[in-house]
């Protein structure tokens, strides 16, 4: 019996598209399945001002192949010099949907991020006033804190105090990876949401480290131990409105992943929907996949749900390219390590 599943077209609430040749190469991988995505601003140099975000949006639209429909939802990279009036004007344009907080040094191109939160208090207050969400990379960068504890420590020492200072601020905990992240998001009230990636539902830290180091499974926040993966699965598939998909699909060319100091990021744009159908079926939650990919995110961001649909079919073992060949170099597509039987209909 063929099993099919028709959903409202999904959105990706956390995506890295990069720029130039890489953008050109990876954009179709997302636009093929997704209607919209929140576009991360950690370019070199970062997308800090409203004008830079609108110019980047134009470059994305120019890279979109003929016949593909896709709406980039832009973000601004928060720095200690960010101007509250510029943020408000960007929000008023209707094209900028969030501001991204990178603690300085937390991840790829985050050195321009925030060190002293007192310096961004005014911007955050303005965002709370106008209802513009803050997307948070939730890891401390203190060298003494073990990398596997950085999310939990961030919640206690940075995120919770920040939300108590500015309770009206809408916050998205991006790519949560721990049971502490799940628990905090659950208790956080209506102004708090959390994205979960595809790969953190599939891998734990053993997948990265056992039997040889697997650079294509290395991302930030790094995958944690198994109990955390199980907590993420329960959150994603449980139907609660505060959890939604943000793939954090983050392309780096293979030469920089397979390297003595390899870049962080898993590239899942190509096969996310197939993998999620597999995961949700394993959790006997296929009826909740649409909430996770297509309903909860728009509700949090105050946007309409998509009218178009996407259909998935279960059949023979699915195949997708092992690599996407961009003009910047080859990018390896995330390999779940098990056969997947779900296909996205053309």
Q: Binding residues for ligand DOR, per CB under 6 A?
A: 16, 42, 107-108, 137, 219-220, 248, 250, 264-265
Q: Whole-number minimum distance, CB 5 to Zn ion, in Å?
A: 27
Residue that has been written with the tokens 């990021």 in this structure:
265
Question: Minimal CB distance to Zn ion: which residue?
Answer: 248
- 299 by Cβ neighbours in 10 Å (0-12 / 13-18 / 19+) ranks as middle
Q: Is 42 annotated as a binding residue?
A: yes
Paired tokens of 88: 């408000």
Q: Whole-number minimum distance, CB 107 to ligand DOR, in Å?
A: 3
301-330 binders of Zn ion (CB under 5 A) = none
Cα gap 305→190, rounded to integer Å: 18
Strand partners, 173: 136, 194
Q: Which is nearer to Zn ion, 139 or 248 (CB)?
A: 248
Q: Is 289 annotated as a binding residue?
A: no
Q: Which of 11, 248, 254, 287 is catalytic?
A: 248
List, as one string, the DSSP characters of 157-211. IIIHHHHHHSTT--EEE-S--SHHHHHHHHTS-TTEEEEE-SGGGT--HHHHHTT
Q: Which is nearer to ligand DOR, 209 or 303 (CB)?
A: 209
Paired tokens of 118: 């007192």
Q: Whole-number minimum distance, CB 189 to ligand DOR, in Å?
A: 25
Q: Whole-number minimum distance, CB 174 to Zn ion, in Å?
A: 7
Q: Under the criterion CB under 5 A, does residue 12 sit at the interface with Zn ion?
A: no
| 208 contact choice in Zn ion, ligand DOR, none (CB below 5 to 8 Å, kind-dependent) | none
* Cα-based distances in Å from 315 to 4, 34, 151, 299: 9, 22, 38, 32
Q: Which is nearer to ligand DOR, 52 or 306 (CB)?
A: 52
Q: How many residues belong to the chain?
A: 346
Report yes or no: 114 and 142 within 8 Å, Cβ to Cβ.
Answer: no
Q: Which is nearer to Zn ion, 42 or 293 (CB)?
A: 42
Interior CA angle at 168 toward 159 and 112, to 5°? 45
List, as one string, the DSSP characters of 268-332. -TTTHHHHHHHHHHHTT-GGGHHIIIIIHHHHHHT-PPPSSEEEEEE-SPP---SEEEETTEEEE
| 139 contact choice in Zn ion, ligand DOR, none (CB below 5 to 8 Å, kind-dependent) | none
* Contact string (CB under 5 A) for Zn ion, positions 203-242, x = contact: ----------------------------------------
Instruction: Indicate if 248 belongs to the active site.
Output: yes
Identify which range of 43-51, 87-95, 193-201, 246-254 contacts Zn ion by CB under 5 A: 246-254
Q: Under the criterion CB under 5 A, does residue 248 sit at the interface with Zn ion?
A: yes
Q: Which is nearer to ligand DOR, 44 or 308 (CB)?
A: 44
Q: Which is nearer to Zn ion, 184 or 267 (CB)?
A: 267
Paired tokens of 295: 């309903």
For the beta carbon of residue 309, count every other beta carbon within 10 angstroms. Answer: 13
Q: Whole-number minimum distance, CB 66 to ligand DOR, in Å?
A: 28
Q: Which residues are annotated as part of the binding site?
A: 14, 16-18, 42, 100, 137, 175, 220, 248, 252, 264
The residues of the shown chain that bind Zn ion, judged by CB under 5 A, are 248
The annotation places the binding site for Zn(2+) at 14, 16, 100, 137, 175, 248
Output the known binding site for substrate. Answer: 16-18, 42, 137, 220, 252, 264
Catalytic residues: 248
């Amino acid at each position: 019996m063929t099993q099919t599943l028709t959903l409202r077209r999904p959105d990706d609430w956390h995506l890295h598209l990069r720029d130039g040749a890489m953008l050109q190469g990876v954009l179709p991988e997302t636009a093929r399945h997704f209607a919209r995505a929140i576009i991360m601003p950690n370019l070199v140099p970062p997308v800090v001002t409203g004008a830079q975000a609108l110019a980047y949006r134009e470059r994305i639209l120019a890279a979109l192949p003929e016949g593909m429909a896709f709406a980039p939802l832009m973000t601004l990279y928060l720095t200690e010099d960010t101007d509250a009036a510029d943020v408000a004007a960007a929000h008023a344009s209707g094209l900028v949907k969030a501001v991204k907080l990178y603690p300085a040094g937390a991840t790829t191109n985050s050195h321009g991020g925030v060190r002293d939160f007192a310096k961004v208090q005014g911007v955050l207050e303005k965002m709370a006033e106008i209802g513009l969400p803050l997307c948070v990379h939730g890891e401390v960068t203190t060298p003494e804190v073990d990398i596997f504890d950085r999310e939990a420590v961030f919640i206690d020492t940075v995120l919770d105090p920040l939300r108590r200072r500015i309770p009206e601020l809408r916050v998205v905990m991006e790519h949560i990876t721990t049971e502490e992240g799940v628990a905090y998001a659950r208790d956080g009230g209506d102004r708090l949401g959390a994205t979960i990636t595809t790969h953190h539902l599939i891998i734990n830290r053993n997948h990265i480290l056992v039997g040889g180091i697997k650079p294509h499974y290395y991302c930030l926040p790094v995958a944690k131990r198994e109990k955390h993966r199980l907590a993420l699965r329960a959150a994603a598939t449980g139907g609660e409105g505060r959890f939604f998909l943000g793939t954090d699909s983050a392309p780096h060319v293979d030469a920089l992943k397979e390297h003595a100091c390899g870049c962080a990021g898993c590239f899942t744009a190509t096969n996310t929907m197939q993998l999620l159908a597999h995961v949700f079926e394993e959790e006997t939650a296929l009826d909740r996949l649409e909430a996770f990919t297509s309903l909860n995110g728009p509700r949090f961001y105050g946007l309409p749900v998509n009218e178009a649909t996407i259909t998935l079919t279960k059949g023979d073992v699915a195949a997708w390219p092992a690599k996407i060949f961009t003009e910047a170099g080859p990018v390896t597509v995330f390999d779940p390590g098990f056969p997947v039987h779900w296909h996205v209909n053309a």
